[in-house]
Amino acid sequence: MQDFRRTHTCGQLTAKDVGQKVKLSGWVHRRRDHGGLIFIDLRDRFGITQLVFDPVLSPAAHKEADKMRNEWVITIAGEVIMRAPDMANAKLTTGEIEIKTSQISVLSKAHTPPFSICDDFIEVNEELRLKYRYLDMRRGDIAQKLVKRHQVMMAVRTYLDQQRFLEISTPILGKSTPEGARDYLVPSRVHPGAFYALPQSPQIFKQLLMVGGMDRYFQIAQCFRDEDLRADRQPEFTQIDLEMSFGTPDELFPIIEGLVGQIFKTCGAIDIPKTFRRMSYAECMNTYGTDKPDLRFDMPLVSIDDIGEKSAFEVFKAQLIGGGIVKAICVKGGADITRKGIEEYTAFVGRFGIQGLAWMKVQEDGTLNSNIVKFFSPELQTELLKRLECQPSDLIFMVADTPERTNQALDHLRRKIARDRGLIDRNRYEFLWVTDFPLFTWNADEGRLESEHHPFTSPHFEDLGLLAIEPLKVRSSSYDLVLNGYEIASGSQRIHDSSLQQQIFSILQLSNEEIRSRFGFFVEALSYGTPPHLGAALGLDRLVMILTQTENIRDVIAFPKTQKASDVMMDCPSFVAQKQLHELNLAIEAQENIP
Amino acid sequence: MQDFRRTHTCGQLTAKDVGQKVKLSGWVHRRRDHGGLIFIDLRDRFGITQLVFDPVLSPAAHKEADKMRNEWVITIAGEVIMRAPDMANAKLTTGEIEIKTSQISVLSKAHTPPFSICDDFIEVNEELRLKYRYLDMRRGDIAQKLVKRHQVMMAVRTYLDQQRFLEISTPILGKSTPEGARDYLVPSRVHPGAFYALPQSPQIFKQLLMVGGMDRYFQIAQCFRDEDLRADRQPEFTQIDLEMSFGTPDELFPIIEGLVGQIFKTCGAIDIPKTFRRMSYAECMNTYGTDKPDLRFDMPLVSIDDIGEKSAFEVFKAQLIGGGIVKAICVKGGADITRKGIEEYTAFVGRFGIQGLAWMKVQEDGTLNSNIVKFFSPELQTELLKRLECQPSDLIFMVADTPERTNQALDHLRRKIARDRGLIDRNRYEFLWVTDFPLFTWNADEGRLESEHHPFTSPHFEDLGLLAIEPLKVRSSSYDLVLNGYEIASGSQRIHDSSLQQQIFSILQLSNEEIRSRFGFFVEALSYGTPPHLGAALGLDRLVMILTQTENIRDVIAFPKTQKASDVMMDCPSFVAQKQLHELNLAIEAQENIP
């Protein structure tokens, strides 16, 4: 049995260790023969250290070294020496030294891996990388992202502990609720025909913890949704979930700002503002056409309904008469966009149902050039230039359609132009609180109001008087935190007053029976003395993605699933023994029965 | 809308705050009328603060206070004043002061709870407490245990982070393995007829992380077993799971000793030894009859085969001839155990299949008194007294049966006597590493060897030569950590050498097809260069139970399940909509089909 215990990692030794006798263990990253000398790059998670084998000084070790192959695991003993100055590698921490190796032994040989570990510039198909996830980790990139994820989780826990939040684990085997997304179900053996459900979030549990007086709770919680996956979704995902009693958003926002600040500082060495901008949902939709604007660049959406109305441009006028709106953006310096470019942007907004994209270029003399400029009087042209703060060689894009389509199209167009024109500084972090979402939406199919979030979301305190008379105008006390166009947190104040809760239920036209069957035990819990409370959930996966500058959620998860919700490494989900199904009183439906 | 933001918690104000204007929020714990003055004990998680309402000074607040009922949530404003010295309550941090209250308002009224919150000395049926878990939390005991659990998790993470372990989350949606306990299954909608399984432990994932070069991993991991529950089991439980590369038990033990030391120090203010005793499985079984001995008291099991053999006592001799053993324990001062007491202990060992319990009392003159003493020569009596280190007024119990039954019965007897005679100091913490468990056991039904743990457990390095010739004598490189009679950790060195792995498989008589189907992708993973690695898992629930001195695992879990694996608060598991089952291609079997 070899002694494989090491004195140092492969990322540790530097010039100041010269002369030390050391033992290292790790993987053969590369082996090279140079005029009798053999060099091996020895690798572990911490770095690479160069080993040198001299046939004169250590003939036995040199002979063994010659047999080594990539990815074999070896252990060596030797002495730290300086490299010749012209052989130093400034890219490595250990680049000034090498190990004059006197002993080497093999701990574990390796088959040839299905892709190269040491040539990390070679692009490998993602499905193959996922099948051999453990080999992909050795290439360093995934490993570094997992290290970052660990650091983020440590920062979160340290900070929230200091803020008097308790981490409390809530059950994974929970109850199926017919609301929201599809549940993953878990059949019960002990209770034939009954099922647990994996939690979509710990929402009900964390509110119960507040009812129970736990005051401040958090959890880095696994959550589950059986949805058809988009590129940035996983069937299981991780949420930094928190809830506090006796506070309002004015208490919660600084806590989350501090939390995010701590994460960025300790895990990214990035200083961000101590407080984040706030903007109401209404203003945000108006200005950016979206509730998650990317503020790393400007280019706001500007309403020009009045200008459209006074113009002679029938396209705009027709939309306005039909209840539509007209909005414009100013592309700084965009006069260089060619006719072909404009056509491409027109096709682009067409994807969102927009029939045409009107444009005007601001010429050097400050006048406008466009195929439709003739429909706008000089006064309207002046007003347009002023309102959009245009300069010579800018370009104006204008869209007229329903509010929803106009906002959606211009939001996408604004972001596409920013990408195309390189307006996005990848090292900027622009945070925004979007507040006061509507409390209700109108369900036209059922002819009744629905909760925008869930029926326990508190109305905005200032709008309580509107509840009975204009419920669609009632804002909720809810908030999202947006970073660079991504929603990274979301939350709300919850209703703690049972008479207000009853009023909400009656606005939603819920019968007592419906209340009981849908929210039964939870409504009872609220009736025993509930403190005012509020909370939020932050997407951990997304935060780590932002800090590691990847767009691929699978890069920040140790063992992710594919978009078909499969683990291709373990070959899972998989078929199970008939005996297991029998114990669960389950049968697989014949395929013809499947609707 | 009231402003319910507080300046302090209810456990914070003391004499040094006298004169401060404060705002508090919390629950009405108790209300008392005393000669015109009204007193309210205001409660939150942090403590209780006494409010006083004076009808002369604040008539409006006094009038409101009169309406308050237990468990209403209120917010108040007032001034901190000293209590009259004879009214001080030394048991409370806040016991010297009270709040002269000038404003009070109700945030949330409360129905009468199903059991009293303020009379925490009243025993409440556990099923009722579980149904109203959120109210039980308010009584303080469960809340304190959850606070302790949070502290333990923080201590674990802080310590392991310092030791260069990375916390890496592994999937909850995993693959069903037919080994070990029963899996909880999760039907897949996307892959009809296929299932995920909830992990019984992250074992395979953590070994893959070592193959992937992550070096040191840990996770506070939720694990799941669909077993018929014993009193101290839950369908989901929590494990402090860790694994490291390039080490042996000599590297791992100090890390775990440091971890446990840190937990006990920071979460219990308890100093424990820096290193723990070690004992081999063989010696442990011999000395205590169990692999998890409680070392807070002595009373070892002593082998007296030779004495039995030389005696004329046919009961012992017959057992020895039939392959049985004879063992004895010495109960210090046990001569005071009555004949009735001895009968009760005889009945007690009878539960473990033992026919009779032989006894001898050591009299004041040092001679033995017993109904069977005549079968033992004076020399044998002297030898017996010497070997068991007996003193006058001690008592000897002797058992002869198969090794298994003898050890089991004397282990239980030893512990029962210790409880009965008050030998257990509840403030002592006695740790023991039990090492070198057997690698194989003999499966008599199938006539072949089986792995004691799993086939990836490494043989003891010293016993490699025995593998081919006497496999049942081969020790594994495995270890349990025992505290006060409970197994709190368990782990092993894993096999990293593929030729050794092949040898183990052939000893287990596994065909290549069996290897592939049972361990397929994992065996492949080991073939690409696997570092020597080892690990362990500690039971978090058990650690918190020990630190909070409870025997009930449900006390240390926020929302536990009953022994029928139900959540009686949420009424879960529960029946789900037919539509949900259809989407999963599942049908519930008719009851008559259930075998």
What is the full DSSP assignment across B559-594? Answer: S---TTS-BTTTTBSB---HHHHHHTTEEEPPGGG-
Q: Tens of pLDDT along A497-519? A: 878 888 898 898 888 887 877 77
Q: What is the pLDDT of residues A407-462, one digit of tens each?
A: 999 999 999 999 999 999 999 999 999 999 999 999 888 888 999 888 889 999 99
Q: Which helix (H) or strand (E) holds A32?
A: strand A21-34
Complete domains list, chain A, with CATH: 15-108 (2.40.50.140), 126-269+478-496+531-595 (3.30.930.10), 297-424 (3.30.1360.30)
Task: Considering only the beta carbons, identify the residue of B158, B172, B228 that sits closest to A236.
Answer: B172
Length of chain A: 595
pLDDT of B593 reads 47
Tell me which residue of A320, A113, A331 sits closest to B211, measured CA to CA.
A113
Q: How far apart are CA A467 and CA A465, in angstroms?
A: 6
Q: For residue B539, what is the enclosing H or E element?
A: strand B533-539
Strand order in the sheet with A277-280: A166-167, A216-224, A236-245, A533-539, A486-493, A478-483, A431-435, A277-280
User: Residue A141 burial (CB < 10 Å; 0-12/13-18/19+)?
Assistant: middle
* Mean pLDDT value across residues A549-570: 94
Single-letter residue type at A257: E
- Residue (of B479, B484, B481) closest to B430 by Cα position: B484
Q: What is the nearest CA distance from A416 to chain B, expressed in angstroms?
A: 33
The helix (run of H) or strand (run of E) holding residue A60 is helix A59-65
Residue contact B530–A108, C-beta within 8 A: yes
Q: What is the mean pLDDT of each run of 10 residues along chain B (595 residues)?
A: 86 97 97 92 97 95 95 97 92 96 95 89 88 96 97 98 98 83 92 94 96 98 89 91 96 97 96 97 97 96 96 95 96 95 97 95 94 94 96 97 97 97 94 97 89 90 92 96 96 90 88 79 92 97 96 96 92 89 86 50
What local confidence, expressed as pLDDT, does residue B132 receive?
A: 97
What tokens does A246 get?
């006796």
Predicted local confidence at residue A120, as pLDDT = 67
A595 contact residues in B (CB cutoff 8 A):
582
Query: Looking at residue A178, what is its pLDDT?
Result: 63
- Contact at CB, A5 and B248, closer than 8 angstroms: yes
Distance, CA of A20 to CA of B254 (rounded, Å): 25
| Buried/exposed code over B258-273 (b: 16+ C-beta within 10 A; e: otherwise) | bbbbbbbeebbeeebe
Nearest-Cα distance to chain B for A399, in Å, is 40
CB contact under 8 A, A183 and B580: yes
Following DSSP, what letter does each residue of B478-502 receive, concatenated? EEEEEETTEEEEEEEEBP--HHHHH
Write the single-letter amino acid at B188: S
In a mutagenesis test of the A interface, which of B30, B267, B584 is the best target, namely the one with the most A β-carbons within 10 Å?
B584
A419: buried, middle or exposed (CB in 10 Å: 19+, 13-18, 0-12)? exposed
DSSP state letter for B312? -
- A307-363 per-position pLDDT tens digit: 999 999 999 999 999 999 999 999 999 999 999 999 999 999 999 999 999 999 999
A183-234 pLDDT per residue, tens: 999 999 999 999 999 999 999 999 999 999 999 999 999 999 998 877 778 9
Chain B interface test: which of A574, A583, A591 (most B C-beta within 10 Å): A574
Q: Which residues of B touch A226 (CB under 8 A)?
A: 189
pLDDT given at position A593: 47
pLDDT at B591: 62
Q: What ipTM score was computed for the predicted complex, to two decimals?
A: 0.94
Query: Is residue A300 scored above 90 in pLDDT?
Result: yes
Chain-chain contact of A195 with B154 (C-beta, under 8 angstroms): no
Report the half-sphere exposure of B271 (CA within 13 A, side-chain side): 0
Nearest to B595 among A153, A582, A587 (CB): A582
Half-sphere CA count of B123, side-chain side, radius 13 A? 1
Quick check: A171 and B561 CB within 8 A? yes
Q: What pLDDT score was predicted for residue B272? A: 96
User: Mean pLDDT across the stretch A482-501?
Assistant: 93
Pairwise CB contact (< 8 Å): A205 & B558: yes
The mean pLDDT value for A75-104 works out to: 95
> In A, which residues are within 8 Å of B585 by CB distance?
588-589, 591, 594
> Which sign does the torsion angle of CA A560, A562, A566, A567 carry?
negative
Question: Lowest-pLDDT range, A73-82, A301-310, A361-370, A513-522?
Answer: A513-522
A567 secondary structure, DSSP code: B
Choose the closest CB to A559 out of B71, B170, B189.
B170
Contact between B476 and B459 (Cβ < 8 Å): yes
Find tokens 């030794």 and name the residue. Answer: A13
The secondary structure of residue B107, as a DSSP letter, is: E
**Cβ separation B588–A586 shorter than 8 A:** yes
Among B281, B264, B282, CA closest to B273: B264
Considering only CB atoms, B251 lies closest to which of A5, A169, A209, namely A5
Q: What is the pLDDT of residue A1?
A: 54
Q: Is B471 helix (H, G, I), strand (E, B) or coil?
A: helix
Mean pLDDT of all residues in A248-275? 96
pLDDT at A195 (0 to 100): 94
Q: How far is B548 from chain A (nearest CA, A)?
A: 16
Q: Which residues of B touch A528 (CB under 8 A)?
A: 71, 110-111, 113, 132, 134-135
Most confident of A107-111, A581-585, B228-232: A107-111
CA distance B53 to B433: 60
Rounded-to-integer distance, Cα A69 and Cα A55, Å: 18
What's the Cα-to-Cα distance from B208 to each of B505, B511, B538, rounded to whole Å?
19, 23, 20
Which pLDDT value is given to residue B153?
98
